[in-house]
């Protein structure tokens, strides 16, 4: 194609001064007609013009190739796309990139500006892991503190009864203060958990590309260390699975379901995580061999502040909002959540989410 007939000069000037990767692709000839210096530097590809689009896409992570082909077709309809994320992988180099693409229909070419967001994604992964640890800590606070505080409350109650102790007005007043403080501490823990779930559920769902298998494996390792008195089993069909969704919200749902499984499974019980990939979606199954859910509560499980809320085996308090929030978040990501249960034998929750 004759470059003089294209607005190539202006686009090239933009590409030359841009701090990001820029290139122009001729869809008729199916080859690249321009790349700026940053493309060579960041992608370590000396000359794009020698390659066709089919050749170049082989350097994209396998899970992202089909995704990019779909976005390529979508571009012709929408004329422009922004924030298309994918992983560039040559074997020795791996970069996470975000592409803004523009289809110049009258000139049969595509102009792309690509940002290297590798460091940003690394920072986001750090925040996700921090958030996961924070959520795990919030789940562990009542398990770690509630029981000893309840014991303290019972001891002080017995002491204030005077059945085994000499009772004086000063001692009784002192014990009442301890008892009130203990009750207050328990209320703070409960309110903290409730406020955390309510606030986090209202945050906007931001969709990005991430490796869902990697995130579940991380949670699995954390749980095995935190709860050595439970048996955790993890199995997955794919070796890697890149999806488009909200990483933090996805992990929040996983944490809620796993916390429920732990709360209603006795010591020595088994909690299993299994992931299966389909052609358009994937399913995560979280099952336990705990006490199960009575059939009379099935219809209310996903209600907000549901009456199906029950205390855990160790007396863990339920606010009746976790599964309602989970359903809301999964729906926001285009997925579904459902369950199967048999009282006395255990419960299985299923999450289905689209891959793209």
Residues 273 and 336 in one domain: yes
CA distances for 104 relative to 16, 27, 129, 166, 345, angstroms: 19, 10, 41, 91, 61
What pLDDT is stored for residue 188 in this prediction? 52
Q: Tell me: the pLDDT tens digits for 317-356?
A: 666 677 888 888 888 888 999 999 999 999 999 999 988 7
Number of domains into which the chain is organized: 2
What pLDDT is stored for residue 243 in this prediction? 84
Residues 136 and 280 in one domain: yes
Residues 331 and 241 in one domain: yes
What pLDDT is stored for residue 112 in this prediction? 92
Say if residues 100 and 83 touch (Cβ distance below 8 Å): yes
Residues 108 and 143 in one domain: no
Say if residues 34 and 23 touch (Cβ distance below 8 Å): yes
- Separation of alpha carbons 85 and 334, rounded Å: 19
Closest CA to 113 of 133, 131, 93, 99: 99
Specify the 3-state DSSP secondary structure of 61: coil
Pick from 91, 116, 141: which residue ends a domain?
116
Residues 47 and 107 in one domain: yes
- Separation of alpha carbons 132 and 315, rounded Å: 24
Three-state secondary structure readout of 318-347: CCCCHHHHHHHHHHHCCCEEEEEEECCCEE
- In sequence order, what DSSP letters do the residues of 5-48 get, joined into one string? GTTHHHHHHHHHH-SSEEEEEETTTTEEEEE-HHHHHHH--S-G
Domain coverage including residue 78: 3-116
What pLDDT is stored for residue 91 in this prediction? 74
Q: What is the CATH number of the domain that holds 46?
A: 3.30.450.20
- Separation of alpha carbons 329 and 30, rounded Å: 41
Q: Tell me: the pLDDT tens digits for 173-215?
A: 556 656 655 665 665 566 555 555 554 544 456 778 888 888 8
What pLDDT is stored for residue 288 in this prediction? 95
Residues 300 and 195 in one domain: yes
Backbone φ and ψ for 258, nearest 5 degrees, come out as: -70, -35
What pLDDT is stored for residue 8 in this prediction? 72
Residues 140 and 32 in one domain: no
Residues 228 and 197 in one domain: yes
Say if residues 136 and 222 touch (Cβ distance below 8 Å): yes
Pick from 116, 136, 165: which residue ends a domain?
116
End-to-end C-alpha distance for the chain, whole angstroms: 34
Q: The tokens of 64 are what?
A: 């992202």
Residues 175 and 194 in one domain: yes
Task: Using 70 as the pLDDT threshold, list the residues of the chain that sit under it.
Answer: 1-6, 45-55, 126, 129-205, 306-309, 311, 314-320
Give this prediction's pTM.
Answer: 0.52
Residues 86 and 154 in one domain: no
- Separation of alpha carbons 163 and 176, rounded Å: 16
CA distances for 167 relative to 160, 175, 183, angstroms: 7, 11, 22
Pick from 116, 143, 165: which residue ends a domain?
116
Count CB-CB contacts under 10 A for residue 215.
21
Residues 40 and 104 in one domain: yes
Residues 140 and 111 in one domain: no
- Sheet with 231-236, strands from edge to edge, namely 231-236, 270-277, 281-288, 346-354, 336-342
Q: What is the CATH number of the domain that holds 133?
A: 3.30.565.10
């Amino acid at each position: 194609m004759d470059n003089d007939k294209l607005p190539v000069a202006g686009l090239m000037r933009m590409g030359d001064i841009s701090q990001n990767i820029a290139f122009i692709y001729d869809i008729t000839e199916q080859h690249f007609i321009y790349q700026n210096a940053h493309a060579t530097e960041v992608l370590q590809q000396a000359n794009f013009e020698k390659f066709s689009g089919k050749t170049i896409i082989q350097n994209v992570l396998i899970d992202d190739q089909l995704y990019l082909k779909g976005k390529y077709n979508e571009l012709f309809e929408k004329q422009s796309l922004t924030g298309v994320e994918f992983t560039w992988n040559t074997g020795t180099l791996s970069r996470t990139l975000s592409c803004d693409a523009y289809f110049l229909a009258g000139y049969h070419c595509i102009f792309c500006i690509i940002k290297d967001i590798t460091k940003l994604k690394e920072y986001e992964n750090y925040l996700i892991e921090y958030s996961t640890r924070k959520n795990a800590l919030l789940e562990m606070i009542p398990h770690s503190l509630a029981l000893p505080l309840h014991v303290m409350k019972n001891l002080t109650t017995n002491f204030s009864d005077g059945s085994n102790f000499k009772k004086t007005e000063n001692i009784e007043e002192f014990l009442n203060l301890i008892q009130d403080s203990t009750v207050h501490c328990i209320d703070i823990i409960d309110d903290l958990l409730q406020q955390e779930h309510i606030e986090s559920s209202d945050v906007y769902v931001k969709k990005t590309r991430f490796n869902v298998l990697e995130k579940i494996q991380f949670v699995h390792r954390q749980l095995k260390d935190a709860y050595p008195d439970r048996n955790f089993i993890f199995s997955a069909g794919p070796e890697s699975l890149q999806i488009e969704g909200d990483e933090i919200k996805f992990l929040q749902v996983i944490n809620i379901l796993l916390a429920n499984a732990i709360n209603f499974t006795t010591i020595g019980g088994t909690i299993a995580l299994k992931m299966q990939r389909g052609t358009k979606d994937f399913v995560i199954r979280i099952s336990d061999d705990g006490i199960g859910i009575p059939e009379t509560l099935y219809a209310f499980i996903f209600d907000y502040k549901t009456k199906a809320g029950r205390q855990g085996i160790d007396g863990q308090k339920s606010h009746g909002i976790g599964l309602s929030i989970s359903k809301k978040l999964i729906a926001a990501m285009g997925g579904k959540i459902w369950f199967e249960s048999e009282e006395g034998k255990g419960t299985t929750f299923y999450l289905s989410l689209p891959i793209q």
